[in-house]
Chain A
Amino acid sequence: MPEEGLLGRIYKDDEIIVKEGMQSRTMYVVQSGKVKIVKSDGDKEIILAVLNEGDIFGEMSLFDASPRSASVKAIGEARVLAIEHEGLLKRITMDPTLAFRIIKQMSQRIRNLNSKLSTAMRTITQVNNKLLLLNSENVTFRDRETKSSHVIDNIAQIQKELHKCNELFIQNESL
């Protein structure tokens, strides 16, 4: 691939494109490669989403002017085109259909979130019911040996469901 014909900017593996908390209204379109949306959780980094060629990111800050809600980093070498916000907002006032693709992407993300939220709510209800059940079971000192394996099984199942719920949330999420 000739280097001359590459538009945008090339980012190396793990290089930061957008930094969480930064004030910036630039939007981006992935031209080649992949990028990941990450949120810091103490020392840990939670991957919220992986975006591919043609995907848009940073659109929330374009409209609400709030600091970046997450960081975006390159996975391997990625090429990204920045969209200058002032020029774009002026163009959108002249041609509102320009925002269609952004709105479509945002509405798809809201749908995904809704679906995940309802699954999460279901899991929480199930977990809550199990906890209530555990609480209602009168575990006395005498029969703790016979009941304890049942309690452990239940807790393990609750942990499994919570883990599944967490997994669901960190998959394919976006800014």
Chain B
Amino acid sequence: MKSAKNSPLKDGARVAIIGGGPAGSFFSIFASKLAKDLGRRLDITIYERKTFVNQGAAGCNMCAGVVSESLVQLLALEGINLPPSVVQSGIESYHFHTQNGNVRIKSSRLQQRGIATIYRGGGPKGSIEKGIQSFDDFLLHKAVECGAKVEHIIVDEIRMERDKPVLYSRGKMLHDCDLLVGASGVKASTGEMYEKLGTGYKAPSIIKAMQSEIEMGNNWISSQFAHSIHIFLLHIPRIKFVSIIPKGDFITISILGKEPDAGCTKVFLSHPEMRKMLPPGFKIPEKFCHCFPKINVGAARKPFAHRLVFVGDASSARLYKDGIGSSYITSKAAAHTALLYGIGEEDFKEHYLPACETLNRDNLFGQFLFHVNDLISTISPLSRGYFKIIQQEQKNLQKDAHYSDILWDMFTGSRFYKNIFIRALNPLPIIRLLLAGSASSLRKVFFSHQ
């Protein structure tokens, strides 16, 4: 029999979740559901400063706002169907803009609008669009429906007292709990608060991205960006790549690069490839809603301790992709560990850590794949050959879609990077790519001598 120190959450156990974003809500939903199946009831309180209904950064958890194809499907299976008030656009394709031209990629597997673009808060500052429901608000309501309470209080100190975590806000004790769940993302101040506990936790390493919301009107966006996320791989200085995500009256411009700033957005909007997609007479606004979200690019060290577990971005996340999907994976694994196995350090090590390690290991494959993709894009003949193959594949997806599916899965986050890596090793398509690259080189030499 297990000692009280590491027994699973019992009937009436008190759980405190710090952070009401997707990770916190997912933990609450899955813990409540499993507890119900097991005939137990949990007393769950989610501490979240924001309400997710305000416009601009104040009400938003700052993220590109894409729910991956696989997560949309998993949520539907869990009985969480995203309503049209939450989904700003249903995405069916990715449109790549490269120096070799443009290509639109569709999945060879399912012909449907399977990816959701969402707002994490109440929408961009100045938005007059009605009926926007924040994704975070939607999930938080689901958690409340499952029995959780939400307190809009800032927890700024945690102490371990009499073997239990105790929560404080501005020097005032709130209460103790049987389990504390850290779901507050990669915010530096909360990271430090957890590190001070001395459990060995170290917050994940991060990079900064830049996000801008530009208003263009629903009609223009529907005609130019219709149900497609646009990826720009154009070798613009300081910019690794840009994604344009259509959302109702606005587009979200998400820039990944070297310390991107508001200037990068203006440089990008002035690029000839982007200018083609702007409304006639469009002027870059002086002020626009923008933020600098932090992206988890390295896992947290020891995301668990006795009666303490970290989920979502505060723990492990998939590289560049599907942050909300990572929250789903880690939160569910942590909730199941706490209810089925125990809340001791050893329990989390044995049953929760493997889920984090799966993501961490997978990111190594992801890093390699993104490096190869960068390499291909810098070698012109290969890049042209790659582009041509994808164009051909898109004409008849049922015949062959090897490289299209690889690109689709890499950028949509639909498959684990390891799975994509194994497929990428198939020698026949590699030979095909090399031949296409050589043919492209020869063509260039031949035509340059004409």
Contact = CB atoms under 8 A, between A and B. Distances in A.
A56 B111 contact: no
B300 interface: no
Interface string B57-71: 000000000000110
Interface in A66-102: 81-84, 86-88, 90-91, 94-95, 97-98, 100-102
A91 B70 contact: yes
Interface stretch (B7-15, B42-50, B87-95, B152-160): B87-95
24 contacts: A1-B84, A2-B131, A2-B248, A4-B87, A4-B90, A5-B89, A5-B90, A6-B90, A7-B112, A7-B113, A9-B112, A26-B110, A29-B77, A54-B81, A81-B114, A83-B76, A83-B77, A84-B69, A84-B109, A94-B358, A95-B329, A95-B333, A101-B77, A101-B78
A10 to B, nearest CB: 9
B197 to A, nearest CB: 29
Interface string B135-152: 000000000000000000
Nearest to B78: A101
Given A1-B84, A4-B227, 5 more contacts: A5-B84, A84-B109, A88-B77, A94-B358, A98-B74
B332 to A, nearest CB: 7
Which of the listed residues A7, A31, A83, A90 has the most CB atoms from chain B within 10 Å of its own CB? A7
B336 interface: yes
Interface string B219-246: 0001000010000000000000000001
Interface residues of B, number: 41
B17 interface: no
A95 B87 CA distance: 26
Interface in A1-49: 1-2, 4-9, 26, 29, 31
B88 A82 contact: no
Contacts of B34: 97
Contacts of B88: 4-5
Nearest to A7: B90
Contacts of B358: 94
B294 interface: no
Nearest to A81: B76
Interface string B92-123: 00000000000000000111111010000000
Nearest to A92: B77
B222 A4 contact: yes
Contact of B77 (A6, A86, A94, A98): A98
Chain A interface mostly: mixed
Interface of B: 34, 37, 69-70, 72-74, 76-79, 81-82, 84-90, 109-114, 116, 131, 218, 222, 227, 246, 248, 329, 332-333, 336, 358, 414-415, 419
Contact of A7 (B82, B109, B111, B222): B82
Contacts of A29: 76-77, 81
B85 A7 contact: no
B76 A6 contact: no
A6 B73 contact: no
Which of the listed residues B69, B86, B90 has the most CB atoms from chain A within 10 Å of its own CB? B90
Nearest to A29: B76
A100 B38 CA distance: 13
A86 B222 CA distance: 32
A87 to B, nearest CB: 6
A70 to B, nearest CB: 21
Given A4-B248, A5-B86, A5-B90, A101 B111 contact: no
B235 to A, nearest CB: 32
Contact of A4 (B76, B89, B110): B89
Nearest to A28: B76
Contacts of B333: 95
A84 B81 contact: no
Which of the listed residues A6, A98, A101 has the most CB atoms from chain B within 10 Å of its own CB? A6
Given A81-B73, A81-B76, A88-B73, A5 B85 contact: yes
> Lowest 7 A-B CB distances belong to which pairs?
A5-B84, A5-B87, A29-B76, A9-B112, A7-B90, A4-B89, A83-B73
Nearest to A27: B77
A87 B414 contact: yes
Contacts of B72: 7, 81
A119 B79 CA distance: 32
Given A81-B76, A91-B74, A98-B74, A8 B84 contact: no
B89 A95 contact: no
A53 to B, nearest CB: 7
Contacts of B414: 87
B92 to A, nearest CB: 9
A91 B34 CA distance: 19
Contacts of A5: 84-90, 248
A77 to B, nearest CB: 13
Given A88-B73, A97-B336, A6 B84 contact: yes
Contacts of B90: 4-8
Contacts of A88: 73, 77
B79 A101 contact: yes
Contact of B73 (A84, A100, A101): A84
Nearest to B218: A4
Contacts of A81: 72-73, 76, 81, 112, 114
A56 B81 CA distance: 12
B149 to A, nearest CB: 25
